[in-house]
Amino acid sequence: MNNIKSSKDVMWVTPTVEGVTLKMELDTGSAVSVISQADFSKSLGHVKLIEATITLQTYSGESIKPLGCANVKVHYKGEAHVLPLYVVPKGGPPLFGREWLKHIKHDWNEIKEVHGIDQKKTGEVIKDLQNKYKDVFKDELGTIKGIKAKLSLKDNSSLKFIKARTVPFSLSAKVEAELDRLEKEGTLNKVNTVNGLHL
């Protein structure tokens, strides 16, 4: 039912389902068309569900029992059909599966063209966000501004010195390098004494 693919492989179609334009991922690897419970409630909550008589299976072998099935009116490119749409507890975008493909014809060249434009826009949006929020995307430790933290200790509490764990000799150089890096970026602060204890 669900497949793992790169963003370049994803193709989208936008049929009208029960009067609602629904963006669906065209997935020839899915035997049926499915939608998550969250998306169904948001877009098609007015549609009646009936009991689903099938059990779905993912590519990883996991079995999923649909919460129900809705026989929905689907309009796409001048075609109109009443087709089953299965509702699952969780999931990604709605999937346009093979069962619907048997009834609805597609112009594959048009789908690929729209897909290519969509990918370009997505890349531009990501780049704009990275430029707008440069501080968030910096490869360094960030800080929260405008918030003060308060640490409360029990009365008569005292610090406890715990000896560092022994590091295997083969890893000591890497550990030292990582500690130096964390100290330079301000994540760690080296101390030599704690309440009179020499470290």
pLDDT tens for residues 9-21? 678 899 999 999 9
pLDDT tens for residues 121-161? 567 778 888 888 888 888 777 777 888 888 888 888 887 77
* Beta-strand relationship, 95-96 and 24-26: parallel
- Whole-model pTM: value is 0.53
| SS3 readout for 22-49 | CCEEECCCCCCCEEEHHHHHHHHCCCCC
> For residues 157 and 193, which has the higher predicted lDDT (pLDDT)?
157
The pLDDT confidence band at residue 110, using thresholds 50, 70 and 90, is low
pLDDT tens for residues 30-72? 899 999 999 999 999 999 999 999 999 877 778 889 999 999 9
CA atoms of 75 and 131, how far apart (whole Å): 40
Q: Is 34 exposed, middle or buried (0-12, 13-18, 19+ CB in 10 A)?
A: buried
Confidence at residue 185, expressed as pLDDT on a 0 to 100 scale: 81
The rounded percent of the chain whose pLDDT value lies above 90 is 37
What length is written for the chain? 199
Domain 7-120 in CATH 2.40.70.10? The answer is: yes
> Domain locations in the chain?
7-120
Q: How many CA atoms lie within 13 A of 92 on its CB side?
A: 13
Confidence at residue 162, expressed as pLDDT on a 0 to 100 scale: 78
State yes or no: pLDDT of 92 exceeds 60: yes
Confidence at residue 46, expressed as pLDDT on a 0 to 100 scale: 92
